[in-house]
Chain A
Amino acid sequence: MGKTSQSKSEGSERIAGSFSTGSGGSDASMRQLRRILNLKEQVLSAARRMPLSSQRFPWAAPKWPASVDRPAKESRTGLNFDTEWSRKYPARLARAVVLDSLIGPLVTALALPEVSGLDRLLDAPTPLIFAANHSSHLDTPLLLASLPAEIRHRCVVAAAADYFFDRRWKGALSSAVLCAIPLERERVSRRSAESAAGLLEEGWNMIIFPEGTRSTDGWAQEFRGGAAYLSKRTGSPVVPVYLQGTRTVLAKDARRVSPGRTRVVFGPVLRCSETEDAKRFAHRIKDSIAELADEASSDWWSARQRAVRGETPSLGGPEASAWRRAWMLDRHHTSRRR
């Protein structure tokens, strides 16, 4: 190897020399050219000496011994996706800029939200769990855009682990832009519950959609107990939120956005009492959102009166055939107070 590099080096000088004679260039440029050629030779020579060229450990990856079983690789997607980086200060700062200067204005322009009930958050102790109905991908950015900045900038979004975190790029994007954390849809496992509770205990507010997935027909689906459980476990109060109209802007499976009007109604802060279990509390959250929906469709006093009488329209819609539910939904929305 030494001989080879030496002869190559000599060859380079010869080439440089002939170049000099033939071109008649200045001495300075010749010296520079020689330096470059020598440097190249030195680098190549060093590379040849380096074990890298011989592909040997540790320069190259080791061979896995045949006698040793390979352990199953732990998945780094879904629930195992690491989102901690997205809650570090640089990521928070970048997200705040994106949310406040790009996503917020864009959502406002597309959905023209009418936000009410924010006064209910003024004296609410943070962290808060925002539990909302869910019928569109627009719900999360709309809700984030509607929150006061101090809450929005310290808020995580519970997102379906099997949808938003099934690919690493999706997980990274969701975490970076929305500060999403992976959570199971069906039943919150102990691990993810501890992770979510840990974030609440660290002071992070949380947006959670108790239905677990977007509504297919516009009516709310069964509420799962995740938000109620986390509230009971951590003592963090729940703020029910009713989102209206997002489905008309961006429905499930829709390929394009149709600008329209939406409403975001923040309800009173709810706390789980000591004697109340998570299941009953989950029902109370759902009832409260139903009252907000009623309030959005009529007025606060009428809605309160119906609530007292137990006549609040169900959030899940009537038990009827699909077309009748669709029909009723249309009536439900068109009856809203303008």
Chain B
Amino acid sequence: MSPRPGFVFETDHSSPATLFWHGEGFGLERLPAGARIIYPPEPVDPIQDPRTAIRNALENPLGASPPLSALLKPGMRLSIAFDDVSLPLPPMRRPDVRQLVIEAVLDAAAEAGVDDVALIAALALHRRMTEAELRHALGDRVYDAFAPSGLLTQHDAEDPENMVHLGVTSEGEDVEINKRAATSDLLVYVNVNLVAMDGGHKSVATGLASYRSIRHHHNVRTMQHSRSFMDQNHSELHSSNWRMGRLIAANGVKVFQVETTLNTDTFPSQFRFLERREWEWSARDRAAFLAASFAVDRAPAGTTRKVFQRIHSPYALSSVQAGEVEAVHAVTTENVYRQQLVDVEGQTDILTMGLPYICPYNVGSIMNPILVACTGLGYMFNMYLGKPLVKPGGVLIMSHPTPWAFNPVHHPSYIDFFEQVLPETTDPFKIEATYEESFARDPWYIHLYRTGHAYHGVHPFYMWYWCAHALDHLGAVIVVGGDPAAVRRLGFKPASTLTDALEMAEDVVGNHPSITHLHSPPLLLANVH
């Protein structure tokens, strides 16, 4: 049976309760009759033979690019950059798609007699990956062949000696990227496109760039003018990266882009109820839900977190394309849309959503309040084309425990941002103008970023900037079941139950509001007409 498309379901009195993520847990909530629920499309059929598909893509490139084998010559300098631990989410089961692609590229390089090969994890300002994470992404064969001799490196945006400034775009944006990548005869970028925002010129222009370069598009103005991040034609973030990417190409950096898309088969079978429509839950699904809920309610938070963080997704490759960056990305975006797009008629007064336990920046870690805000307002709110799902001045209701807790190893600057900046103001413009520079230049944060596993000092600011469009657009944000103090610190309103939250929302949008629920997982992209 071919996968069914997503659709909008209107609830009535007999509709079953609806699944809401609630961080490291989940629950069933009854939405009022007449509320809409947007259900995502089912996972598209995967490619049956990924290795062959990858080889075909490398040898049949898109755009004005010769096949990979024709680009590989003895004596050349080849760099292979790849997306970091932030993709995909949850991490996929072995073999990771990056391993499959990189092995195919290395096979071709070996056949062509290329000796000078280096691998670079494109971290941008993210934390460094652990050995286990690198092995998971690349496979043991690749890791053991390159890591011991120092040929597997992680991009360091704060290493001036290994960065090269390529110039300034027509909009005055500095373009400074990894020197090894920029000075290679060929840079192969291996990408995982989980959402439409990923990939394209953003891969190199952001993934291998410095703070000096990234700040030109990771700022409040750009974020507010990206409507949405998933719509290339209306995203300032996208435009800025495209200008930078073209400047990189104009400087002679030859990029061979390999982009992959995954289907939305996100959770293993024991959690399959998360992805099924509630009325299709079998006895097994209901038993699994009840058992999981029982266990989550009673287990210590640390244990629950460990269990969830160990989940490996059964994602499967749904497309792979290679060649010239823009031509490749156009096809990739179509494939992402094919998987995720759902047509929705009209906006809503109140948008409800459950937030999961994971976002791109807390793999192996806790989802702190700033990441909760970013996941809801930065990512989920922006999962639209056309118009936001919520009307201007509408209310966003998110379900998440929002614990006042941080991982000091991964998120040291987040702690200070939460304790020092947010009590003063939640206005992104004021935060940017007053505090960003001091956090970004702080030597201690830079040291932790370069030598430990910490996100860059400026990273919590970017998380807040991702929320800028939603904060500007919404009348109120309510968090159900969150730590009241943490929620208030974010400038949001806490509510104990969904019913309370809906009542509070009526104070903002008036009586008899329209309600829409974003049913996730898996991911969906609302095409709002």
Interface residues of A (CB under 8 A from B): 57-59, 61-68, 71-72, 74
Q: In the complex the two chains form, is A58's CB within 8 Å of B28's CB? A: yes
* Stretch of B82-90, B212-220, B278-286 lying at the A interface: B278-286
Closest to A64 in B: B279
Determine the distance from Cα of A66 to Cα of B9 in the docked complex, in whole angstroms: 11
- Least distance between B22 CB and chain A CB atoms (Å): 15
- Least distance between A75 CB and chain B CB atoms (Å): 10
Judge if B4 is at the interface, Cβ distance under 8 Å. Answer: yes
- Least distance between A53 CB and chain B CB atoms (Å): 15
Residue in contact with B279 in the complex, picked from A59, A63, A74, CB distance below 8 Å: A63
The 24 sampled A-B contact pairs (Cβ below 8 Å) are A57-B16, A57-B281, A58-B281, A58-B286, A58-B289, A59-B286, A59-B290, A61-B283, A61-B286, A62-B16, A62-B278, A62-B279, A62-B281, A63-B15, A63-B16, A64-B279, A65-B14, A65-B15, A65-B279, A67-B10, A68-B9, A68-B277, A71-B4, A74-B1
Closest to B285 in A: A58
- Least distance between A208 CB and chain B CB atoms (Å): 24
CB-CB under 8 A from B4, the residues of chain A are: 71
Closest to B14 in A: A63
Q: In the complex the two chains form, is A67's CB within 8 Å of B28's CB? A: no
- Least distance between A76 CB and chain B CB atoms (Å): 13
CB-CB under 8 A from A72, the residues of chain B are: 1
CB-CB under 8 A from A68, the residues of chain B are: 9, 277, 279
Interface size on B, as a range, is: 10 to 19
The count of A-to-B residue pairs whose CB atoms sit within 8 angstroms is 44
CB-CB under 8 A from B28, the residues of chain A are: 57-58
- Least distance between B276 CB and chain A CB atoms (Å): 11
Interface residues of B (CB under 8 A from A): 1, 4, 9-10, 12, 14-17, 28, 277-279, 281, 283, 286, 289-290
Closest to A63 in B: B14
CB-CB under 8 A from B279, the residues of chain A are: 62-65, 68
CB-CB under 8 A from A59, the residues of chain B are: 286, 290
Q: In the complex the two chains form, is B9's CB within 8 Å of A57's CB? A: no
Determine the distance from Cα of A66 to Cα of B277 in the docked complex, in whole angstroms: 14
Most buried by B among A62, A64, A67, A68: A62
Closest to B278 in A: A62
CB-CB under 8 A from A67, the residues of chain B are: 9-10, 12
CB-CB under 8 A from B286, the residues of chain A are: 57-59, 61
Determine the distance from Cα of A68 to Cα of B11 in the docked complex, in whole angstroms: 11
CB-CB under 8 A from B16, the residues of chain A are: 57-58, 62-63
Determine the distance from Cα of A66 to Cα of B281 in the docked complex, in whole angstroms: 16
Closest to B48 in A: A194
Determine the distance from Cα of A57 to Cα of B10 in the docked complex, in whole angstroms: 18
Closest to B290 in A: A58
CB-CB under 8 A from B9, the residues of chain A are: 65, 67-68
- Least distance between B283 CB and chain A CB atoms (Å): 7
CB-CB under 8 A from A65, the residues of chain B are: 9, 12, 14-15, 279
CB-CB under 8 A from B1, the residues of chain A are: 71-72, 74
Determine the distance from Cα of A14 to Cα of B10 in the docked complex, in whole angstroms: 54
CB-CB under 8 A from A71, the residues of chain B are: 1, 4
Determine the distance from Cα of A66 to Cα of B14 in the docked complex, in whole angstroms: 9
- Least distance between A137 CB and chain B CB atoms (Å): 34
Closest to B39 in A: A68
Determine the distance from Cα of A71 to Cα of B280 in the docked complex, in whole angstroms: 10
Most buried by B among A58, A63, A72: A58
Determine the distance from Cα of A58 to Cα of B290 in the docked complex, in whole angstroms: 8
CB-CB under 8 A from A64, the residues of chain B are: 279
Given contacts A61-B283, A68-B279, 9 further A-B contacts (CB under 8 A): A57-B17, A57-B286, A62-B16, A63-B15, A63-B279, A65-B9, A65-B12, A65-B279, A66-B14
- Least distance between A77 CB and chain B CB atoms (Å): 15
Closest to A58 in B: B286
Q: In the complex the two chains form, is B290's CB within 8 Å of A57's CB? A: no
- Least distance between B48 CB and chain A CB atoms (Å): 8
Determine the distance from Cα of A61 to Cα of B9 in the docked complex, in whole angstroms: 19
Determine the distance from Cα of A57 to Cα of B277 in the docked complex, in whole angstroms: 13
Q: Top 9 nearest A-B pairs by Cβ distance?
A: A62-B16, A58-B286, A57-B16, A62-B279, A64-B279, A63-B14, A58-B289, A62-B278, A74-B1
- Least distance between A163 CB and chain B CB atoms (Å): 25
Determine the distance from Cα of A68 to Cα of B276 in the docked complex, in whole angstroms: 14
- Least distance between B37 CB and chain A CB atoms (Å): 10
